[in-house]
A and B are shown apart, each in its own frame.
Chain A
Amino acid sequence: MSSQEVCIRTQGVTRKFHDKEVLHGISLEVRHNEIFGLLGPSGSGKTTLVKMIAGIDEATSGEVEVLGIRMPKLSMMNRIGYMAQSDAMYNELTAKENLEFFGALFGLKGATMKRRIEEVMALVNLTDHLKRPVNAYSGGMKRRLSLAIALMHEPEVLILDEPTVGIDPVLRKSIWDEFEDLSQKGTTILVTTHVMDEADKCHRLGMVRDGHLIAVGTPEALKQETGSATIEEAFLHYGGVRV
């Protein structure tokens, strides 16, 4: 893989919390325009890893690079969109006010702000609920609004931590179609999931278990290599369990 193709690179990344190592030397490369899925059970270290890539957390040792720049770096925040696992929004505020606030932090204003609000809300199918306070939203709606906020500033790199939890299958499909569309237009998407059927939709997958990256490859290659019919079987295979 030539260095121009690489969008996100981690090199021997280790993260310790109070002497307990939760990530053990993860080396990973995500290419431009790719939808890369991090698959693993909860507690495997996915969130810790994507936080370091998003520049919120810092590796204990090893290097994280995004778009060729060593993270964490404040100026990179404008080029990265991050959606956390929790629906972090201001519940008293309306959806519009939330979008305006986060948009303004990324320097959006005036007509651009207005246009982006319309676009992202249409994307997550919440246009009719723009003026409702977030505390009147259902869980799935909050998840979608959270995604909309991450998309506001049209980031080159999108990091999504379990973006489709609690979203109904029809909408989930339309959101994945949108991810595909964004990736066609040049956005690199790093998404974590523990839903195996979602993993099939990723261009490439990284399997994480107990803080180790146990396998990387396209869903087809991973299945083929292990002689499995499903991603789940492949995961079990790499995890050391024979079916």
Chain B
Amino acid sequence: MRIRAVIVRIARQFIHDQRTMALLVVAPLLVLSLMYLVFNGDTYQPKIGTVQLPAAITEKLTAADAKVTAYDTVEVAEAALADQEIDAFIRLDQGTAQVKLEGSDPSKNRAVMLLMQKTLQGQAASAGVAGSSNGQAVAPEFQYLHGSADMSSFDSFSPVLIGLFAFFFVFLIAGVSFLRERTSGTLERLLATPLRRWEIVVGYMAGFGIFTSLQAVLIAGFTVYALGSLMVGSFGYVLLIMLLLSLTALSFGTLLSAFANTEFQMIQFIPIVIVPQVFFSGLFDLESISPWLRWITHITPLKYGADALRGIMIRGEGWSGIALDVYVLAGLSLVFMLANVLALQKHRKI
């Protein structure tokens, strides 16, 4: 009954405060759309300069989707490289190809090198066919256990991103509104009613839970059905994980708000609490991270959520694949909630 009153009140606050509602729903969709546009673009076409190359090679480069510009001397090509008009230039020096890269952008470097391998290997292969009588150069055939050749960066990022947004925006909104309860004095007023401490916490979880569920459905649905992100597993599991992630964010945010005195101090938690989680969430490859840092990944809730979402969306994992993540997230939420009930003791012992 009292919990229901808290839930109804939070729902009404949301309905009156459309801006917050928009932040919860529109902001993630906007950022996801931007990410989609950035990461789902066509593959980069390297801009290559050539210095007195045989026409055959130039043709091959053009065929491999490079933008080729021919230069007469090395000096002119060097100047173009310095002006970033081209990503690399290629010349022949005593029969071997010399490639000089602009070099400041690793992704462009990779694109150039990939292109070179393709064209020059092709060159060698055709030479091999001509030279050897029995040898037929065998081009390997690629098969994919998960994903496919045309899986984009967005497909690989989107599970992490939707988890991140569910976590981040809920953390912020729940934290700030619980904090405001304290600074505006309404918490004191609540504590002068028969409302129990755990009822406040549960009421908050449930009241916000309604809107975060809505948010989860919208974000996941938008990503999968509107942006067409890769989705192999079950949509229901995705929703489950997103809901658990936002509950974790909810309980975590409200707990941390106990350690902030102003909204600004709540914002200060972002670089400490949210940003590191982004790094460890799987957006970046962590295989090569120092072992002494790796333990951090095990205490970041976002990592468990992102792992599970990746498993479901890219590898089509079922319950057995995500069970551990589900238990950890549910456990963390519970721990944070209990800690919050205890933290409220600061304001009223009973």
Contacts and interface: CB of A to CB of B under 8 A. Distances in A.
B188 A74 contact: no
Contact of B189 (A88, A100, A107, A133): A88
A55 B193 CA distance: 9
A88 to B, nearest CB: 3
Interface in B1-39: 1-2, 4-6, 8-9, 12-13, 16-17
Interface stretch (A7-15, A79-87, A210-218, A232-240): A79-87
A26 B136 CA distance: 102
Contacts of B12: 92-93, 97
Given A88-B184, A93-B9, A107-B1, A80 B350 contact: no
Contacts of B1: 104, 107
Contact of A56 (B2, B5, B9, B348): B348
A56 B8 contact: no
Contacts, number: 83
B194 A56 contact: no
A105 B2 contact: yes
Contacts of B315: none
A92 B189 CA distance: 17
B121 to A, nearest CB: 65
- Report the interface size class on chain A: 20 to 34
A27 B188 CA distance: 25
B188 A88 contact: yes
Interface in B42-76: none
Interface in A61-103: 72-75, 77-78, 80, 82, 84, 86-93, 97, 100-102
Nearest to A73: B350
A8 B194 CA distance: 19
A8 to B, nearest CB: 15
B265 interface: no
B41 interface: no
A89 B188 CA distance: 11
Contacts of A74: 194, 196, 350
A78 B184 contact: no
B296 interface: no
Contacts of B349: 58, 72
18 contacts: A54-B192, A72-B348, A72-B350, A75-B194, A78-B194, A84-B185, A84-B188, A86-B184, A87-B185, A93-B9, A93-B13, A100-B8, A101-B6, A101-B8, A104-B1, A104-B8, A107-B1, A149-B189
Given A97-B12, A104-B2, 11 more contacts: A55-B192, A55-B350, A56-B188, A56-B192, A75-B194, A87-B185, A88-B185, A90-B9, A91-B184, A93-B12, A133-B16
